[in-house]
């Protein structure tokens, strides 16, 4: 199965052309900067999210040895981002959240938390819910549990020397 990952990384940044080229050419990975963090997006195959993530991390570190993979980016989204990603209105998304639309099969996932006064969700959980309605982005993202396993493995097995 192919999994989409976005990792928070350090040791390289988007201005490092040789690293950007090596990641793109060897791993089909994209290095970007958002919210003050360097992010690496990559799709990798494996029998499980953990195995795919670890294989991807090994490959990107072979391509750019100074790159340090810190953790997964949780990709938190609010109503506005969900509406943008699905091409629906914010009102429509609010109806999903309230349970007044498309809630027969399974309720909308619970919020991950709040930012200011707004609720936020993990995109992986929202995307799984959207898949029930044929509205997902077509990608497989690690679940909350898989993301925790991946972060634990990164902290224990891939710490810098």
What are the tens digits of pLDDT across the range 29-59?
999 999 889 999 999 999 999 999 999 999 9
Tally of CB atoms within 10 A around 82? 23
Bridging pattern class, strands 76-77 and 37-45: unpaired
d(CA 152, CA 102): 35
User: In whole numbers, what is the pLDDT of the chain averaged over residues?
Assistant: 92
Choose among 50, 56, 46, 55: nearest CA to 2: 46
Contact 44, 51 (CB under 8 A): no
Tokens for 132?
């029930």
What pTM was estimated for this model as a whole?
0.86
Distances (CA, A) of 137 to 26, 28, 41: 25, 19, 15
Cα-Cα end-to-end distance for the chain? 31
CB-hemisphere CA count at 13 Å for 135?
A: 19
In contact, 141 and 72? CB cutoff 8 Å: no
Cα 160 from Cα 67, distance rounded (Å): 10
State yes or no: pLDDT of 91 exceeds 60: yes
Q: What is the pLDDT, as a whole number, of residue 104?
A: 66
pLDDT of 161 > 90? The answer is no
DSSP 15: T
């Amino acid at each position: 199965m192919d999994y989409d990952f976005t990792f928070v990384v350090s040791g390289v940044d988007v201005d490092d052309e040789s690293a950007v080229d090596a990641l793109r050419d060897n791993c089909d990975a994209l290095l970007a900067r958002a919210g003050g963090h360097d992010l690496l997006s990559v799709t990798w195959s494996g029998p499980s999210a953990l195995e795919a993530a670890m294989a991807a991390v090994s490959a990107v570190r072979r391509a750019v040895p100074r790159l340090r993979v810190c953790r997964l980016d949780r990709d938190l989204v609010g109503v506005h981002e969900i509406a943008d990603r699905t091409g629906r209105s914010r009102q429509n998304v609010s109806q999903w959240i309230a349970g007044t639309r498309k809630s027969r099969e399974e309720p909308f996932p619970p919020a991950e938390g709040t930012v200011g006064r707004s609720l936020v969700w993990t995109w992986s959980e929202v995307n799984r819910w959207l898949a029930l309605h044929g509205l997902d982005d077509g990608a497989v993202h690690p679940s909350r549990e898989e993301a925790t396993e991946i972060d634990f493995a990164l902290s224990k097995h891939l710490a810098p020397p």
